[in-house]
Amino acid sequence: MGRHMLDLVEGLIGRADVTVMCRTGPRARWLFQEAAALGARTVALPSPHDPTYPQVIGDFLSSQSVDVFHGHAGWGWEDPDGLRLARAAGVPAVVITHHLPFLLSRRDKAERLIENTSFAHWRIAVSDGLRDTYIARGVSEEHFITVPNGVRPRQHPPGRAAARTELHLRPEDLVVLCTGRLVHMKGQRYLIEAAALLKPAWPNLRVVILGEGELRRHLEDLVAERGLAGSVHLPGHRGDARMLLDAADVFALPSRAEGMPLALIEAMEAGVPVVATRVIGSTEVVTDGGTGLLVPSQDAGMLAAALAELLGDDEQRALYGAAGRRRYLRDYTVEAMVTRTQAVYDLALDAGS
Distance of CA 215 to the CA centre of its chain: 19
Distance CA 116, CA 94 (A): 12
What local confidence, expressed as pLDDT, does residue 352 receive?
63
Domain boundaries, the chain: 2-150+334-352, 160-331
Given phi > 0 = left and psi -120 to 50 = alpha, else beta, which region is 236? left
Sequence-distant (≥ 6) Cβ neighbours of residue 145 within 8 angstroms:
122, 123, 124, 125, 344
**What does each C-alpha distance from 153 to 7, 33, 61, 325 come to in angstroms?**
12, 22, 35, 11
318-352 pLDDT tens trace: 999 999 999 999 999 999 999 999 999 999 999 76
Architecture of domain 160-331: 3-Layer(aba) Sandwich (3.40)
User: Could you tell me where the DSSP H helices lie in 89-214?
Assistant: 107-117, 128-136, 160-166, 188-198
CB burial of residue 184 (10 Å; 0-12, 13-18, 19+)? middle
What local confidence, expressed as pLDDT, does residue 262 receive?
94
Distance CA 140, CA 105 (A): 19
Given phi > 0 = left and psi -120 to 50 = alpha, else beta, which region is 115? alpha
Sequence-distant (≥ 6) Cβ neighbours of residue 234 within 8 angstroms:
182, 209, 216, 219, 220, 223
- The whole-model pTM stands at 0.91
CA angle 39, 45, 50 (to 5 degrees): 180
Domains 2-150+334-352 and 160-331 share a fold: yes
Amino acid (one-letter) located at 269: E
Helices and strands per DSSP (H, E), number in the chain: 14, 12
CB burial of residue 250 (10 Å; 0-12, 13-18, 19+)? buried
What local confidence, expressed as pLDDT, does residue 103 receive?
82
Q: Is 59 helix (H, G, I), strand (E, B) or coil?
A: helix
Architecture of domain 2-150+334-352: 3-Layer(aba) Sandwich (3.40)
What local confidence, expressed as pLDDT, does residue 31 receive?
87
Low-confidence stretches of the chain (pLDDT beneath 70): 74-80, 352-353
Cross-sheet strand order for the sheet of 144-146: 68-73, 93-98, 122-125, 144-146
Contact 348, 122 (CB under 8 A): yes
Distance CA 83, CA 129 (A): 24
What local confidence, expressed as pLDDT, does residue 296 receive?
98
